[in-house]
């Protein structure tokens, strides 16, 4: 199967020294891929580079067999990429319904209602909160609004930056379930996760980044079973 | 009582409407472009002169010629945004604030250059007030001003909550980075912020000119109470700024009413001090304003 997203030799940063250096990464369609690694490994930078939020020094990014290196963020949303930042990822003074609506502006769907209905089927919790300002919701519910907003542009690829950061263990499980639900409707997911062990458990593919370089890749299960990965990045113990 | 309504309350609503129209622009510009636009008063002045020029050329009532004042204000703000504000947008906002001081001086000087420093009136002669129930005497202008502010408040509310552009503006004001990540066209939002802010300023300027007269310092003199109004309304909250403008207008006018004894409570020449006092008190005790806006 040819990759939906293909990254080759990507070196990028924020103008100073590059944060990631020569990264290669492929994401197959309709899969969940997770990027893990220690703090400062460049996980978020890699994700932001795909979404044109960093300065790319070298390398190529291809999406859907098309070179997207150098395209602006506003151009990426219409061709099928959406992203959810780690923090400040909802419009707090806008209602939940308005947050979802804003998600359609960059790539207006033919049938807005049908898309909203699909999103609300994925996140049934939001249905009762549609008229409420997003700022009044709990952390987990905000994460759902943020993912819902991104899905309103009907992306093929959804980028998630630490979707479970700061959430309670109960919500953590719930968010991972929802991510599998999103995959089930045909959306490919590339995410960065701090809760590496749980993330690898649901991931089709995992990529370990260390010091801005590829360290190891494999299926989620392979990485969970790998002695080296377990000792260095999963805090030891059994999977 | 009737005297209170005729000479204090209705003029207060008119003054409030003028402040409110200016304050909306200041508040929106602060919310979306993140800087205090000190040239906003002078945008009002240009709008007032734009309408005045049309009045000289076309024999119609000034309010019907508002589109000319609005057009001049829009062209002027879009031009200065392109020339002076946009190149500074990536820098700390203090550069843009200082630059807007410069733009204020440019606008004022241009007004003086083209139209002269003297006072001008739209319609010469004394305007007869309308009399209702034999007691309430209202000038047509004051009724028009109150109607205009009501229509604009309703339109603005519907625009901000229902339209795509209005929601995009609120989104950019709320979380600019997330708005960019969502693929919103920030430049378009900024352009429309100027267009709306300038239009409302031109209306405010013309109303102020009709209420008294038109002169190059017209808008600059109103800048302080308009800032007070937008802070009162919670900066970045256009509807709050509308309410803030009405409150400041009422506070200024009603402070001169003889509440105690025969003389005015506060001498009318200290009117602006009332706005200033409210602004300082708010910044100290309630800096987010009455409607939970952003901190300055």
Q: Which residues of B touch A91 (CB under 8 A)?
A: 170-171, 174-175, 178-179
Residue B126 maps to a domain: no
Q: Which residues contact A142 (CB under 8 A, 6 or more apart)?
A: A89, A90, A134
Give the chain B residue nearest A159 (alpha carbons): B181
Minimum mean pLDDT among A25-29, A75-79, A232-236, B190-194: which range?
A: A232-236
Q: Which residues of B touch A130 (CB under 8 A)?
A: none
From A77, A88, A105, residue closest to B175, measured CB to CB: A88
Nearest CA distance, A233 vs chain B (angstrom): 30
Residue A62 maps to a domain: no
Tokens of A13: 């940063």
Residue B295 maps to a domain: no
Strand order in the sheet with A55-63: A20-27, A5-13, A55-63, A66-67
From A73, A78, A92, residue closest to B174, measured CB to CB: A92
Rounded-to-integer distance, Cα B14 and Cα B208, Å: 9
Residue A39 maps to a domain: yes
Number of domains in chain A: 1
Residue that has been written with the tokens 């708005």 in this structure: B179
For Cα atoms B282, B285, B291, give the angle at the middle one, nearest 5 degrees: 60
Per-residue pLDDT tens over the stretch A132-163:
999 999 999 999 999 999 999 999 999 999 99
pLDDT > 80? residue B126: no
Residue B109 maps to a domain: yes
Cβ separation A105–B184 shorter than 8 A: yes
For the residues B118-126, what does the mean pLDDT come to? 85
Range of the domain at B160: 2-118+134-285
Q: Please, how many CA atoms are within 13 Å of residue B275, restricted to the half-sphere of its CB?
A: 29
Nearest CA distance, A168 vs chain B (angstrom): 24
- Please state the pTM of the whole predicted model: 0.90
Q: Which residues of A touch B181 (CB under 8 A)?
A: 51, 53, 73, 83, 85
For the residues A25-30, what does the mean pLDDT come to? 96
Residue B248 maps to a domain: yes
Is residue B217 helix, strand or coil?
A: coil
Rounded-to-integer distance, Cα B29 and Cα A44, Å: 32
Per-residue pLDDT tens over the stretch B60-89:
999 999 999 999 999 999 999 999 999 999
Is residue A1 helix, strand or coil?
A: coil
Residue A8 maps to a domain: no
What confidence score (pLDDT) does residue B294 get?
A: 62
Q: Which residues of B touch A53 (CB under 8 A)?
A: 181
pLDDT > 50? residue A234: yes
Rounded-to-integer distance, Cα A51 and Cα A144, Å: 20
Is residue A214 helix, strand or coil?
A: strand
Q: Does B172 touch chain A (CB under 8 A)?
A: no
Residue A189 maps to a domain: yes
For the residues A171-178, what does the mean pLDDT come to? 92
pLDDT > 70? residue B215: yes
CB B18 within 8 A of CB B249: yes
What confidence score (pLDDT) does residue B124 get?
A: 80
Q: Which of A105, A130, A147 to mutate to test the interface with B (most CBs of B within 10 A)?
A: A105
Residue B127 maps to a domain: no
Q: Does B294 touch chain A (CB under 8 A)?
A: no
What confidence score (pLDDT) does residue B293 get?
A: 62
Cβ separation B174–A78 shorter than 8 A: no
Nearest Cα to Cα of residue A103 among A122, A121, A89, A93:
A89
Residue A51 maps to a domain: no
Residue A179 maps to a domain: yes
For the residues B2-12, what does the mean pLDDT come to? 82
Q: Does B162 touch chain A (CB under 8 A)?
A: no
CB A191 within 8 A of CB A143: no
| DSSP assignments along A28-85, one per residue | -TT-EEEEE-STTSSHHHHHHHHTT-SEEEEEEEEETTEE-TT--HHHHHHHTEEEE-
Per-residue pLDDT tens over the stretch A98-134:
999 999 999 998 899 999 999 999 999 999 999 999 9
Nearest Cα to Cα of residue B69 among B57, B80, B85:
B57
CB B102 within 8 A of CB B79: no
Cβ separation B183–A98 shorter than 8 A: no
Displacement of CA B93 from its chain's centroid (Å): 22
Q: How confident is the model at residue A45 (pLDDT cuts 50, 70, 90)?
A: very high
Cβ separation A90–B170 shorter than 8 A: no
What confidence score (pLDDT) does residue B151 get?
A: 96
Q: Return left, alpha or beta for B149; rule: phi > 0 is left, psi -120 to 50 is alpha, else beta.
A: alpha
| DSSP assignments along A95-110, one per residue | BHHHHHHHTTSSS--S
- In chain A, what's the furthest Cα-to-Cα distance? 50
Q: Which of B183, B186, B189, B294 to mutate to test the interface with A (most CBs of A within 10 A)?
A: B183
From B164, B170, B183, residue closest to A94, measured CB to CB: B170
Tokens of A68: 């997207």
Cβ separation A85–B178 shorter than 8 A: yes
Residue A59 maps to a domain: no
pLDDT over 90, % of chain B = 68
How does strand A205-210 pair with strand A55-63? unpaired
How does strand A32-36 pair with strand A205-210? parallel
For chain B, the straight-line distance linking the first and the last C-alpha, in angstroms and rounded, comes to 40
Tokens of A79: 């061709």
Give the chain B residue nearest A103 (alpha carbons): B182
**Which residues, in sequence order, are bridge partners of residue A210?**
A213
Rounded-to-integer distance, Cα A157 and Cα A186, Å: 9
Q: Which of A93, A130, A160 to mutate to test the interface with B (most CBs of B within 10 A)?
A: A93
Number of domains in chain B: 1
**Which residues, in sequence order, are bridge partners of residue A217?**
A207
From B167, B177, B180, residue closest to A98, measured CB to CB: B167
Residue A156 maps to a domain: yes
Q: Which residues of A touch B182 (CB under 8 A)?
A: 77, 102-103, 105-106, 149-150, 153
**Which residues, in sequence order, are bridge partners of residue B294?**
B235
CB A158 within 8 A of CB A182: yes
Q: Does B180 touch chain A (CB under 8 A)?
A: yes
> What torsion, rounded to 10 degrees, do the Cα atoms B211, B217, B221, B224 define?
130
Q: Does B170 touch chain A (CB under 8 A)?
A: yes
User: What CATH number is attached to the domain comprising A173?
Assistant: 3.40.50.300
User: What CATH number is attached to the domain comprising B188?
Assistant: 1.10.3470
Range of the domain at A87: 31-44+71-233
């Amino acid at each position: 199967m040819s990759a939906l997203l293909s990254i080759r030799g990507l070196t990028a940063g924020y103008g100073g020294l590059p944060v990631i250096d020569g990264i290669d990464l492929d994401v197959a369609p309709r899969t969940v891929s997770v990027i893990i690694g220690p703090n400062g490994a460049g996980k978020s930078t890699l994700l932001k580079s795909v979404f044109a939020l960093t300065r790319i020094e070298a390398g190529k990014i291809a999406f859907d067999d098309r070179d997207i290196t150098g395209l602006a963020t506003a151009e990426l949303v219409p061709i099928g990429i959406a992203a959810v930042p780690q923090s400040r990822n909802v419009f707090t003074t806008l209602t939940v319904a308005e947050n979802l609506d804003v998600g359609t502006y960059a790539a207006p769907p033919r049938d807005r209602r049908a898309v909203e209905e699909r999103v609300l089927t994925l996140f049934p919790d939001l249905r009762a909160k549609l008229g409420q300002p997003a700022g009044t919701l709990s952390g987990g519910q905000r994460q759902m609004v943020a993912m819902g907003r991104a899905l309103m542009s009907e992306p093929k690829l959804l980028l998630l930056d630490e979707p479970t950061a700061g959430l309670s263990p109960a919500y953590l499980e719930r968010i991972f379930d929802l991510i599998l639900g999103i995959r089930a409707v045909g959306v490919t997911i590339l995410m960065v996760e701090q809760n590496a062990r749980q993330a690898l458990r649901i991931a089709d593919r995992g990529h370990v980044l260390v010091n801005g370089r590829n360290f190891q890749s494999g299926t989620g299960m392979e990485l969970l079973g790998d002695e080296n990965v377990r000792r260095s990045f999963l805090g030891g113990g059994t999977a | 009582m009737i005297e209170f309504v005729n000479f204090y309350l209705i003029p207060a609503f008119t003054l409030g409407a003028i402040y409110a129209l200016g304050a909306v622009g200041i508040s929106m510009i602060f919310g979306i472009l993140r800087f205090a636009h000190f040239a906003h008063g002078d945008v009002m002045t240009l709008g007032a002169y734009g309408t005045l020029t049309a009045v000289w050329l076309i024999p119609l009532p000034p309010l019907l010629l508002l589109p000319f004042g609005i057009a001049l204000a829009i062209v002027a703000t879009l031009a200065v945004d392109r020339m002076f504000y946009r190149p500074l947008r990536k820098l700390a906002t203090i550069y843009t604030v200082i630059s807007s001081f410069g733009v204020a001086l440019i606008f004022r000087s241009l007004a003086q250059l083209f139209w002269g420093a003297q006072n001008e009136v739209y319609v010469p002669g004394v305007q007869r007030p309308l009399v209702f129930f034999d007691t309430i005497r209202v000038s047509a202008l004051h009724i028009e001003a109150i109607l205009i502010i009501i229509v604009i408040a309703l339109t603005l509310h519907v625009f901000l909550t229902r339209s795509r552009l209005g929601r995009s503006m609120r989104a950019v004001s709320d979380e600019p980075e997330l708005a960019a990540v969502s693929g919103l066209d920030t430049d378009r939002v900024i352009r429309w912020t100027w267009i709306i802010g300038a239009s409302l300023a031109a209306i405010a300027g013309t109303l102020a000119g009709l209420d008294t007269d038109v002169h190059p310092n017209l808008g600059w003199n109103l800048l302080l109470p308009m800032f007070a109004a937008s802070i009162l309304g919670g900066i970045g909250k256009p509807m709050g700024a509308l309410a803030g403008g009405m409150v400041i207008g009422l506070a200024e006018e009603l402070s001169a009413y003889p509440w105690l004894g025969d003389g005015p409570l506060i001498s009318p020449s200290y009117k602006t001090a009332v706005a200033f006092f409210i602004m300082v008190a708010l910044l100290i005790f309630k800096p987010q304003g009455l409607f939970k806006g952003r901190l300055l």
